[in-house]
Structure 1
Amino acid sequence: MKDLTDLQARRERLVLDHFADETKQDFDAVLGTFPHPHYELIPSGEVHDGIADVRQYYIDTRRAFPDQRHEIIQLRHADDSVIVEFWLLGTHRGPLKGIPPTGNSFRCRMNAFFIFEGDRLVCERVYFDTLTMLRQLLVGVPAAHVGALVGSLLGQPSPAHAPEAATA
């Protein structure tokens, strides 16, 4: 294995601390890993920018998954980033964007790109398969309710609130 440069070692330490502090739910420490916190969740198109917005993201996700944690699979270095492949795990104990708690657990493989300018973390960009997570969270939910729950997750109105189709 190739030895890390000093810059790579500093970046790696910051990323590992970031992961550990997220699991401990020490959000002040996590926010402190960025000069300006910025998250991009690629599957949903969500962007959380700034201390208040990112803190609210942490609060909302930990309300939904109070036991959320990570298992790192692999960590790699690129010119401007640290790329982490990991399992995200948790139990759905609180509301998640209109989906009431199901009590189901999930395990979803993810990739996070921690983008740096020098040794300053400027963005965490996360990629994952939403269907993998939803399949696990919605186990046992009556089929008649799944469409409305998924629609609420996607920000779409439920059929009861959808505008009537135009007639030709």
Structure 2
Amino acid sequence: MTNQTQLTALQARRERIVLDHFADETRQDFDAVLGTFPHPHYELIPSGEVHDGNDDVRQYYAETRRAFPDQRHEIIQLRHADDSVIVEFWLLGTHRGPLKGIPPTGNAFRCRMNAFFIFEGDTLVCERVYFDTLTMLRQLLVGVPPEMVGALVQGLLGQPSATPKAEAAVA
């Protein structure tokens, strides 16, 4: 899985935590995922979202799995840095539930991402995720009437819509 042939004991422990974390997320065993760090902390860089603590992270899981009940990962590459494990992966899913104002489209997505699993020693303290929002949106919004796209994207970005008529059509 890694690009190195010989791992240190610390790197091997960190890698096991990260691989378990990914597997538990795919199985939707969120108790096990939360158990991979003493204080769960997610940072989603494209949206600026921070989910901190058990309750907040559980809510994040509930919302994203409601929107994408089949969400899963395909790991491309795993690398080690001094204080982290960096994972490049595909995130896949089908939009079956609401997502921040976007009604379910039934469209599937496949988005390449990077996650930095930040450690203090062998303790996971943060998962920081980077991805291209446009790649995902382009796939999710296929087939949505063009006049609704602006209002949906504004809702996703947490901005008030400039066209109340479009908002009413979504609700």
Task: Indicate the TM-score class for this superposition, using the shorter chain for normalisation.
Answer: over 0.9
Match of 2:145 in 1: 142
Cα distance in 2 between the residues matched to 1:122 and 1:112: 13
Specify the code of the residue in structure 2 equivalent to 1:66.
P
2:12 corresponds to 1:12: no
Residue of structure 2 in register with 1:26 after alignment: 29
CA–CA distance in 1 between the matches of 2:9 and 2:94?
Answer: 38
Hey, what does 1:65 align to over in structure 2?
Answer: 68
Gaps of 5+ in 2: 165-171
- 1:4-153 matched pairs, under 5 angstroms: 4-153=7-156
Is 2:153 the counterpart of 1:157?
A: no
CA–CA separation in structure 2 for the residues paired with 1:95 and 1:52: 20
Distance 1:130 1:112 in 2: 15
- 1: CA distance between counterparts of 2:28 and 2:112? 20
Amino acid across the alignment from 1:20: A
**TM-score, scaled to structure 1:** 0.95
Distance 1:106 1:84 in 2: 19
> How big is the shift at 1:160?
4.0
8 A contact 2:109–2:140 mirrored in 1: yes
- Whole-Å separation in 2 of the counterparts to 1:56 and 1:84: 24
CA distance in 2, matches of 1:155, 1:57: 16
2: CA distance, partners of 1:145 / 1:8: 48
Instruction: Tell me the secondary structure at the aligned position of residue 144 of structure 1.
Output: helix
> Could you say what secondary structure the match of 2:23 adopts?
helix
Question: Following TM superposition, by how much is the alpha carbon of 1:159 offset from its aligned partner in structure 2, in angstroms?
Answer: 2.1
Report deviation, 1:158: 1.6
Give the CA deviation at 1:89. 0.1
Divergent runs of 4+, >2 A = none
Q: Distance in 1 between matches of 2:148 and 2:94?
A: 20
TM-score, reference length from structure 2: 0.93
What is the CA–CA distance in structure 2 between the aligned matches of 1:66 and 1:36, rounded to whole Å? Answer: 25
* Identity between Structure 1 and Structure 2 (%): 88
